[in-house]
Amino acid sequence: MPTELTTAETIIHTLDRVIRQTDRPVPLHIPTFGGNCWNYVKECIDTGWVSSVGSYVTRFEEDLARYTGAKHAVAVSNGTSGLHIALRMVGVEPGDEVLSPSLTFVATANAIRYCDATPHFVDVAPTTLGVDPGAIGAYLETLTEQREDGYCYNKQTGRRIAALVGMHAFGHPFDLPGIESLCRKHNIAFVEDAAESLGSLYNGKHTGTFAKVGLISFNGNKIITTGGGGMILTDDDELGRWAKHVTTTAKLPHRFEYIHDELGYNYRMPNLNAALGCAQMEQLGGLLEQKRQLAQRYIDAFADVDGMYILPEPEGTRSNYWFSSLVVDRALVPQRDDLLNALVDAGFLARPIWRPMHQLPMYAGCPRMPLPVTEDMAQRVINLPSSAGL
């Protein structure tokens, strides 16, 4: 490496060594199409089966159930609608509180609000960027009490804490056994926002299948895409049946009558999107390999650079490395925006992590525990171009 480089120049020089794509700009993440993508989508158009009924939707659900090991997989229009239903599935009701990381994409908190519940923000671990059972456990000890109905209540607000949503940030699994046992201890329902972690494993088991209900997203920026789409995962027969029913407008099967037996949602994934999903699933193994190789090249290259590191997959896990995240030292935080500007100017469309939820206007008034790790890491993470095949 040439000496006397600025920090921005050092990062750019390192990216130049890692990324093989020669044309600029290099986007943060783009989808990879190939294989049967076009054939399957064309078949939907040729046959007219483009909407929410069609064989690809069922096939895509079967593919996901087989791949993740979940007993039931229910295909929905996007990850956000899936999270909304996941929270309803575990019994979140208006007036409840739901524990959620503040360091997440806004959909996690929005889905809680769609249930007329209140997000209660909790802190994350620096090694996973996901919910931290140690810190949250200590907080709940003093904040909550278990009442006669068996549920956990916030002593300050008097509201029931109905659920905790953990999120596997950028594909890195959080401490699943720790969070599972915390939820069990306090009788809090556990939901996994595995929107970003298709292909990520904890001790060999797929993320999204530890909690009572899990959710995967197939947005265009994810490891595989259906354009827009999501998948609800559960092992519970009754909940799986109910999820499919309410996401298809709660319509009862009948030869010609329109009978709906409860408030339903038009959240079913269309066949056109599922067709793309089936073709993408055929490519997933190769995409995962490519992304893990890219992450390893980043890890090796940044190992020589002082003041920063690539966030490694947590011990005992296998990450899909949806994003390769560069973590810079605290001393570089004042320069973060200058670094981002320099990277973008050089044609590397790197991005910061999300603005934490408790710093957004609609969630600023929500209850929260002290969030030192969230506030620290929110300023130190720069996501690098991470498309498969770079």
Ligand X SMILES: Cc1ncc(COP(=O)(O)O)c(C=O)c1O
Query: Applying CB under 6 A, which residues contact ligand X?
Result: 78-80, 83, 104-105, 107-108, 167, 193, 195-196, 217, 219, 230
In the bound state with ligand X, the residue whose beta carbon lies nearer, of 105 and 151, is 105
CB environment 233-250: b (16+ within 10 A), e (fewer): bbeeeebbebbbbbbbbe
Indicate the length of the chain as a whole number: 390
Q: Which residue is nearest to ligand X (CB)?
A: 79
In the bound state with ligand X, the residue whose beta carbon lies nearer, of 301 and 388, is 388
In the bound state with ligand X, the residue whose beta carbon lies nearer, of 175 and 196, is 196
Helix (H, G, I), strand (E, B) or coil at 103: coil
Q: What whole-number distance in Å separates Cα of residue 24 and Cα of residue 27?
A: 8
In the bound state with ligand X, the residue whose beta carbon lies nearer, of 65 and 231, is 231
Write out the two tokens for 346: 């050089």
Q: How far is the CB of 96 from ligand X (least distance, A)?
A: 19
Q: How far is the CB of 104 from ligand X (least distance, A)?
A: 5
Q: How far is the CB of 61 from ligand X (least distance, A)?
A: 16
Residue found under tokens 């590191």:
309
Q: How far is the CB of 117 from ligand X (least distance, A)?
A: 16
Q: How far is the CB of 179 from ligand X (least distance, A)?
A: 15
Q: How far is the CB of 228 from ligand X (least distance, A)?
A: 6
Going by C-alpha positions, the residue among 320, 312, 307, 329 that lies closest to residue 380 is: 329
Q: How far is the CB of 306 from ligand X (least distance, A)?
A: 31
In the bound state with ligand X, the residue whose beta carbon lies nearer, of 152 and 194, is 194
| Helices 37-47 + 271-302 axis angle, to 10 | 160
In the bound state with ligand X, the residue whose beta carbon lies nearer, of 130 and 367, is 130
63 neighbors 278 (Cβ within 8 angstroms): yes
Helix (H, G, I), strand (E, B) or coil at 227: coil
In the bound state with ligand X, the residue whose beta carbon lies nearer, of 108 and 200, is 108
DSSP 278-345: HHHHHHHHHHHHHHHHHHHHHHHHHTTSTTEEEPPPPTTEE---SSEEEEE-GGGGGGHHHHHHHHHH
**Cβ neighbours of residue 71 under 8 Å, at least 6 residues apart?**
65, 234, 235, 236, 237, 240
